[in-house]
Amino acid sequence: MQIEFTATDPTRDRQGCVVVGIQAPKELSAAAVRIDEASQGALTAALRSGDFKAEPGRTLLLRNLAGVAAERVLLVGCGPAAKLDAAAWRQTVTQLARVLKELGSTSAALYLPEVEVRERGLDWRVQQAVQIIGDGWYRFTGFKSDKEPAPKLKKICLPKAFLADPRVDCEGAARIGSALAQGMALARDLGNLPGNVCTPAYLASEARRLGRSAGLTVKVLGEAEMKRLGMGALLSVSKGSREEAKLITMQYKGGPSGAKPVVLVGKGITFDSGGISIKPAAAMDEMKYDMCGAASVFGTLLAAAQLKLPVNVTGVVPASENLPDGSASKPGDIVTTLSGKSVEILNTDAEGRLILCDALTYSARFKPDVVIDIATLTGACIVALGNHASGLMSNDDDLADALLSAGIRAHDRAWRLPLWPEYQEQIKSPFADMANVGGREAGTITAGCFLAKFTGAFRWAHLDIAGTAWVSGKEKSATGRPVPLLLQYLVDRAHAA
Ligand code: BES
Ligand code: MN
Ligand code: ZN
């Protein structure tokens, strides 16, 4: 999608479609007033007739209005001003994107962001509109013979007047929105790809490709090197697979050369069958999404590099399959992690923490400012938070708060869970330094407690994205979350620096 700040007058713009907001019950936005005057009350008449109610997400397409140069005027309902908060506005734009996709015009002049949203500025409205419409254009059609034709709309023109206020950077906001949509698209593509295509080796080659296109330094370790380093936990997961595990690192160096990096560690299980502790067959296909943590690292790095954010970011992706086999790990097996600590594997389906613990220990070599791991780690997190919030755990209150507020701003929210020492009791083992599972209770937290044992050396946060990284059901798909949260965190850091 092409974005320009070229719209100048809603009655004279020659774009195929002019999009204006209407608030309930009958409050016209500034652009709507201009069109209403020029067309001798066409909009007021539409409202009076009852053809259009200004409820959130409702739209009405008017064609060939007298006094209006554009062929189409699209009215978008925003509901009553008092109720137009971030969530309602996002729903409105999501609905608008669906309508724009079906439209015959190739460009649209988008005046909608002039409508005020509670506690959100114009730059936020612009960023969200560009992101939501861009993400709405996402398609995953590579494996279909019948490809739906792509939507006609190719260009969004935003009002030039949005650039008038020097205190808000709408151009920057649009750039962020557009980079985000692209980062999310990459994350969604990787998540949607089937396990027979998206293997650990595939992720490694994608990393190299991203490295070339975005200017990242990429390094890939194979199993021999991991063995030499002593990554016994990571290798215990890939033992049962014929695909070689990979440890991928990608360095984006946009900040000062001495500045400590943000390290993003993404779980990259390209298929999780559970291993010997095999999962039930129902919906097991969805476990191809078990590399969405890794995918969010790819997507965030792409967006950060595209924006040339002045921060240093290192992505670390442990990638493996988790399959049953004659050589697979068995319940009761004890392995030694890179940190030297031993783990009793009580359940081979708790494999995410096994690959992550070695990747976290490895992360220390980058002398990180903070380490954030992102993982589809526990079904328990879906039970606790559904698909509205990612689970957040951290050993540092400032880092946790920064991530929570980035999530609110990006509307990609997280919710913090405690890592109190009491929970550590649940992962004690009589045979090893710890067990890899801690029973049914507080499953998300005990997984976090396990990871915490490998993060003593740095400020660390863990995002459990089991519920947020995809939607199940008929329209099942990777969502691209939490790329918006992570990118917002990096943008906030860049501003603070
Ligand atoms: N990848 C799963 C977690 C998961 C489950 C993500 C459902 C998305 C949807 C993870 O590897 C796993 O299997 N976790 C186990 C942990 C248990 C054995 C302690 C789980 O959640 O059941
Ligand atoms: Mn598992
Ligand atoms: Zn898993």
For 337-356, how does the pLDDT look when each residue is reduced to its tens digit (9 = 90+)? 999 999 999 999 999 999 99
Query: Per-residue confidence at 148, pLDDT binned at 50, 70, 90?
Result: confident
Residue 378 beta carbon below 6 angstroms from any ligand 1 atom: yes
Dist. CA 288–CA 284, nearest whole Å = 8
Residue 331 beta carbon below 6 angstroms from any ligand 1 atom: no
Dist. CA 291–CA 298, nearest whole Å = 11
pLDDT of 5: 98
Query: Per-residue confidence at 123, pLDDT binned at 50, 70, 90?
Result: very high
Sign of the CA dihedral running 212, 216, 217, 223: negative
Q: Which atom of ligand 1 is nearest to the CA of 438?
A: 19
pLDDT of 366: 98
pLDDT of 51: 87
Residue 352 beta carbon below 6 angstroms from any ligand 1 atom: yes
Q: Which atom of ligand 1 is nearest to the CA of 267?
A: 1
Residue 426 beta carbon below 6 angstroms from any ligand 1 atom: no
Dist. CA 392–CA 406, nearest whole Å = 12
Per-residue pLDDT for 303 more than 90? yes
Average pLDDT of the residues in 405-428 = 98
Q: Whose CA is nearest to atom 5 of ligand 1?
A: 379
Residue 404 CA, distance from chain mean position? 14
Residue 291 beta carbon below 6 angstroms from any ligand 1 atom: no
Dist. CA 374–CA 486, nearest whole Å = 10
267 CA distance to ligand 3 middle (Å) = 8
- What is the set of active-site residues? 279, 353
270, containing H or E segment: strand 268-272
Average pLDDT of the residues in 282-296 = 97
379 CA distance to ligand 2 middle (Å) = 9
Per-residue pLDDT for 497 more than 90? no
Average pLDDT of the residues in 299-311 = 98
Residue 373 beta carbon below 6 angstroms from any ligand 1 atom: no
Neighbours of ion ligand 3 (CB under 5 A): 269, 272, 290, 352
| C-alpha to C-alpha distances, 303 to 298, 300, 329, 347, 414, nearest whole angstrom | 9, 5, 37, 37, 20
Tell me which of 477 and 57 has the higher pLDDT: 477
Q: Using an 8 Å Cβ cutoff, are 85 and 56 in contact?
A: no
Which tens digit of pLDDT belongs to each residue from 7-39? 999 999 988 999 999 999 889 999 999 999 999
pLDDT of 208: 98
301 CA distance to ligand 1 middle (Å) = 26
pLDDT of 211: 98
Query: Per-residue confidence at 147, pLDDT binned at 50, 70, 90?
Result: confident
284 CA distance to ligand 2 middle (Å) = 11
pLDDT of 399: 98
pLDDT of 321: 98
Query: Per-residue confidence at 371, pLDDT binned at 50, 70, 90?
Result: very high
Specify the length of the chain in residues.
497
Percentage of the chain with pLDDT > 90? 97
Residue 272 beta carbon below 6 angstroms from any ligand 1 atom: yes
Average pLDDT of the residues in 252-259 = 96
Q: What is the mean pLDDT of the chain?
A: 97
Average pLDDT of the residues in 61-70 = 96
Sign of the CA dihedral running 424, 426, 429, 434: negative
Terminal Cα-to-Cα distance of the chain (whole angstroms): 31
pLDDT of 60: 97
Q: Whose CA is nearest to atom 17 of ligand 1?
A: 350
Per-residue pLDDT for 485 more than 90? yes
Dist. CA 18–CA 69, nearest whole Å = 10
Nearest-CA neighbor of 47 among 20, 31, 27?
Answer: 27
Nearest-CA neighbor of 108 among 77, 133, 131, 143?
Answer: 133
B/e letters for 70-104, b = 16+ CB within 10 Å, e = fewer, are: bebbbbbbbbeeeebebebbbebbebbbebbeebe
15, containing H or E segment: none
Q: Which atom of ligand 1 is nearest to the CA of 351?
A: 11
pLDDT of 143: 97
Least distant ligand from the CA of 465: 1
Average pLDDT of the residues in 310-335 = 98
Look up residue 354 and give its DSSP letter: H
199 CA distance to ligand 3 middle (Å) = 14
Q: Which atom of ligand 1 is nearest to the CA of 469?
A: 8
Peptide bond into 25 cis (omega under 30): yes
Q: Which of 378, 383, 450 to mutate to test the pocket of ligand 1 (most atoms within 8 A of CB)?
A: 378
Looking only at the bridges linking them, the beta strands covering 459-464 and 370-375 are parallel
Which tens digit of pLDDT belongs to each residue from 168-190? 999 999 999 999 999 999 999 99
Q: Which atom of ligand 1 is nearest to the CA of 467?
A: 8
416 CA distance to ligand 1 middle (Å) = 19
pLDDT of 309: 98
Helix boundaries (H) for 82-199: 86-101, 122-136, 170-192
pLDDT of 187: 98
